[in-house]
Amino acid sequence: MFINRRQFMQLSGNLVLGASLLGSPLVLGQRGGVRAAPGMPVPEFVPTNGIEMAVYEQGSGPAVIFCHGFPELAYSWRNQIPAVANAGFHCLAPDQRGYGLTGGPEDPALYDIGIFCDDLVGLMDARGIEKAVFCGHDWGGAVVWAMPRLYPKRCLGVIGLNTAAGRPEGLPPAADARANDIVMTPNYYVATFMEPGRAEAVLEADVRKTFEFVLSGGGSGIWNAEAFAQLPTDSAERQMDLLSMLSREDPPGEPFLPDAEMQYFIDTFEATGFTGGLNWYRAIPRMGAVFADAASTIDVPCLYIGAENDVILPPYSANGMEDFIADLEKHTVMESGHWTQQEKPEEVNRVIIEWLQRKIA
């Protein structure tokens, strides 16, 4: 199936843990040994919606739930959790369904936007949290924008990093809508992720190479908006054919993470593989029905943070969100690519904390 990125955004397990393993440096994950994230609070394992969700938790006050994207982990929020907790908030960051210590079922039908939201509601119920602010990046952004439409009574606010809210059905196109610079073909990475096993064969062949390509910084490789728009339209870069680029001996891009931080992603995905995260894509055809009876407006305070050089989810993808979100603020992080909270953590923390203290605290 071939869909574009905006359509995509609109639209247990076998994790076995004993109480004696909590806090251990090694636990049994979906596919072998997965260690807890370094420098993070000791994770707890919360039963929710048929899975055991590994949750890193710190602080007290209004709850803020952080949702990561693909191919990421709760570890992606390592710079935000202590800062936001110290600012007076109760931070919770799970390895989401299919990822890391949480793992998940093999059936792609058990991965859709409604199920992801149900996972978060179950987490809140288990923790005695009535309402929370939901902060998400990439796929996690799709989840957090769904929460106020599916569970409006459980939401205090929404923070979307890079991911814009999907436009509700029935609204006319945004007056200032703009086409993405990606040239859409069947080689677009979302389409190539659909076939079981195809993406795994490339992503898992050399996990270090995969992450050194994927986690590339703003201004390098494919993460420079101005340079990207000048690339030939038939190039793998311009078509965002990630599997073809990764299959090259020397893929484009320069990794920006320190070796130790990169290593945790590598170690974890070497143990778990990528199928859990890829199942989020493979359930896309089942997602449209989830919003059939959803709210058509978002009625809580919202913050959108875009990144100048994110060519997959550019800041202009958020044009028109004001049409269905009354209380919306926007901020663009300059000289950052797609991995905004990891590339520019100080600026992201400052913007998030200032907004939380003004709108939520």
Please identify every residue annotated as catalytic.
138, 338
Alpha carbons 157 and 134: distance in angstroms, whole number: 6
Nearest by Cα to 34 from 201, 280, 270: 270
Query: Among 89, 103, 95, 99, which residue's Cα sits nearest to residue 13?
Result: 103
Instruction: Tell me the Ramachandran region of residue 40: left when phi exceeds 0, alpha when psi lies from -120 to 50, beta otherwise.
Output: beta
Q: Give me the sign of the Cα torsion angle 296, 163, 261, 265.
A: positive
Q: SS3 for 352? A: helix
How far apart, in whole angstroms, are the C-alpha atoms of residue 236 and residue 213?
Answer: 14
- Residues whose CB falls within 8 Å of the CB of residue 54, separated by 6 or more in sequence, listed in order: 36, 43, 44, 45, 46, 74, 94, 95, 100, 101, 102
Helices 259-272 and 207-214 cross at an angle (nearest 10°) of: 130
Burial class (CB in 10 A: 0-12, 13-18, 19+), 17: middle
| Residues making up the chain, counted from first to last | 361
